[in-house]
Amino acid sequence: MPADRYGMEARSAYIHVPFCRHRCGYCNFTLVSGRDAWIERYLLNLKRELALLKQPRQLDTLYIGGGTPTHLSSNQLDRLLEIVDEWLPREPTSEFTIEANPSDLKDHRKLDVIRQHGVNRISLGVQSLQPRKLDLLERDHTPREVHDVMNAIRPWLRSISLDLIFGTPDETLDEWKSDIFEASLLPVDHVSTYGLTIEKGTSFWKRKHENSLIELDEDTSASCYEYAIDRLSELGFEHYEISSFSRPAHRCQHNEVYWSGKPFFGFGPGAASYTGTRRDMNHRSTSQYFKLMETGGPAVFESETLNQHRRAKERLVIGLRRMEGWNLAHFEDEYGFSVHGLVGPKLKELIRLGYLIETDSTLKLSRAGLMISDSLWTKILAD
Ligand code: SF4
């Protein structure tokens, strides 16, 4: 496979739309808020970036995320999707996801545009169905609006995914149980649950350091996560990745591309492309992205060619995010290392401590490992 990202044979692409009405207090994503005047310039530069492909690429999965893609006006959304249709055509069977904010979809013109361009999966940034949590998270929708949007999109969409956040300040397990209960009443095919982490650079971080916001204790947060795993499984969702739960045949195919190490294109500020051996990351700053594209592009800020050892370690960690884990023989065939040869004695220790489970043929996360997966990855990746 050619190492150049525009020459590669990827069948998946991610488009980053870096605009939001307001930056939520917990969010440190690549985005700008209150800069709607930049949207036209963004569309122009995205078109330039896609034109670097030289020829349209047929895709199996396309994911438009952000930011909030549905923050664009219906006319801008239409033009964004026209650009995407020209350069990234899909088959009717391809998965085409757009991330959406429930309050934006009250505008039926936006829904019409999304539908006309063949989007068949919406990932709704709901985060909670409890007014207290929505208020704390600075979300601009109500639980009622989520219900109304669901009713409007369910008849024509193949798949609906919902994001929920647990572990917010002052949250109780009962409050989280109510979130799961109310989500279970909605006609959704997929749920992603995320534990809140307070990141540097967010207003939550500042408030935490001023003692005006207290992070939830780890035990309550872990109980929320365990409850989600148990309850969503009882409700018929398959827990197939650390944060992801799906009804049968509704796994997110685009994310499966990431977890299985296949190549993908990324366009827009901060988007990454992966050729299988090289990763290219676009500039995270929207204004720098514009400048780079306006002087001929590409907008790449950082590139990394992975040596065989690094690539195998990354693949091990990313693959372990999936509940089925790794087939040991497949891993060795594909990456040229046994998992023990690659990680060394640390791996035996993690198995002995019960965070990973090794059988004759597989290696996978245990329930205890799920609870602390981020720190496991740091240990495995360290040289
Ligand atoms: S809407 Fe989503 S992407 Fe935008 S600021 Fe809020 S959390 Fe971040």
Q: Cβ(67) to ligand 1 under 6 A? A: yes
Across the range 243-251, mean pLDDT stands at 98
For ligand 1, pick from 19, 22, 24 the residue to mutate: most ligand atoms within 8 Å of CB.
Answer: 24
Residue 2's pLDDT band, with cuts at 50, 70 and 90, is very low
pLDDT tens track for 80-114: 999 999 999 999 999 999 999 999 999 999 999 99
| Spatial contact of 22 and 55, defined as CB atoms under 8 Å apart | no
Task: Collapse the DSSP code of 43 into the 3-class scheme (helix H, G, I; strand E, B; otherwise coil) and give the result.
Answer: helix
Beta bridge partners, 193, equal: 164
Only one residue has tokens 């069948």, namely 11
**Residue 138 alpha carbon to ligand 1 centre in Å:** 9
Of 284, 278, 330, 326, give the one whose Cα is nearest residue 67: 284
Centroid of ligand 1 to alpha carbon of 252 (angstroms): 20
pLDDT of the residue at 73:
98
H, E, C per residue of 269-314: CCCEEECCCEEEEECCCHHHHHHHHHCCCCCEEEEEECCHHHHHHH
Q: How far is the CA of 69 from the centre of ligand 1 (A)?
A: 10
Vertex 250, ends 245 and 254: CA angle to 5°? 90
CB atoms < 10 A from the CB of 140, how many?
A: 14
Q: Taking 90 as the threshold, does the pLDDT of residue 292 lie above it?
A: yes
Nearest atom in ligand 1 to the alpha carbon of residue 67 is 3
Please tell me the distance from the alpha carbon of residue 275 to that of residue 264, in angstroms, as a whole number: 7
Cα–Cα distance between 135 and 165 in angstroms, integer? 13
**Residues in contact with 93: Cβ distance below 8 Å, sequence separation at least 6, in sequence order:** none
pLDDT of residue 3: 53
* pLDDT, tens digit, 9 for 90 and up, residues 50-85: 999 999 999 999 999 999 999 999 999 999 999 999
Q: Global pTM?
A: 0.97
- For ligand 1, whether the C-beta of 17 sits within 6 Å is no
Strands 12-17 and 265-267: parallel
Q: Ligand 1 centroid vs 97 CA: distance in angstroms?
A: 17
Question: 31 CB under 6 A from ligand 1?
Answer: yes
d(Cα 246, Cα 238) in Å, to the nearest integer?
5
Residue 163 CA to ligand 1 centre (angstroms): 12
C-beta of 137 in contact with ligand 1 (< 6 A): no
> Torsion-angle region of residue 328: left (phi > 0), alpha (psi -120 to 50) or beta?
alpha
Tell me the mean pLDDT in the region 310-319: 97
List, in sequence order, every residue forming a beta bridge with 278; answer none if it has no partner: 305
Average pLDDT, the chain: 96
Tokens of 89: 């055509």
Q: In order of start, what are the domains of the chain with their CATH numbers?
A: 5-259 (3.80.30.20), 308-381 (1.10.10)
- 249-273 pLDDT per residue, tens: 999 999 999 999 999 999 999 999 9
Residue nearest to atom 8 of ligand 1 (CA): 27
The protein residue whose alpha carbon is closest to atom 5 in ligand 1 is: 23
Regarding the beta carbon of 65 and ligand 1, being less than 6 Å apart is answered no
Residue 24 structure tokens: 């939520």
Q: Distances from the Cα of 253 to the Cαs of 36, 51, 93, 260, 277, in angstroms?
A: 31, 25, 11, 10, 21
The closest-lying atom of ligand 1 relative to the alpha carbon of residue 66 is 3
Q: Tell how far the Cα of 18 is from the centroid of ligand 1, in angstroms.
A: 10
Average pLDDT over residues 167-196: 97
Q: Going by CA atoms, what residue is nearest to atom 6 of ligand 1?
A: 24
User: How many whole angstroms separate alpha carbon 31 and alpha carbon 22?
Assistant: 10
- pLDDT-based confidence at 1, cuts 50/70/90? very low
Q: Among 16, 21, 27, name the best residue to mutate to test ligand 1's pocket (greatest count of ligand atoms within 8 A of Cβ).
A: 27
Question: Is the pLDDT score of 4 beyond 80?
Answer: no
Split at pLDDT 50, 70, 90, the class of 6 is: confident
Q: Which numbered atom of ligand 1 lies nearest the CA of 127?
A: 7
User: How many residues belong to the chain?
Assistant: 383
Q: From the CB of residue 56, how many other CB atoms can be counted at a distance below 10 Å?
A: 12
Q: Please tell me if the CB atom of residue 24 comes closer than 6 angstroms to any atom of ligand 1.
A: yes
% of the chain at pLDDT higher than 70? 99
User: How far from the centroid of its chain's Cα atoms is residue 201's Cα?
Assistant: 20
- Residue 18 CB–ligand 1 contact under 6 Å: no
Residue whose CB lies within 8 A of the most ligand 1 atoms, among 68, 101, 123, for a mutation test:
68
Structural tokens at position 355: 């965070």
* Distance between CA atoms of residues 256 and 376, nearest Å: 21
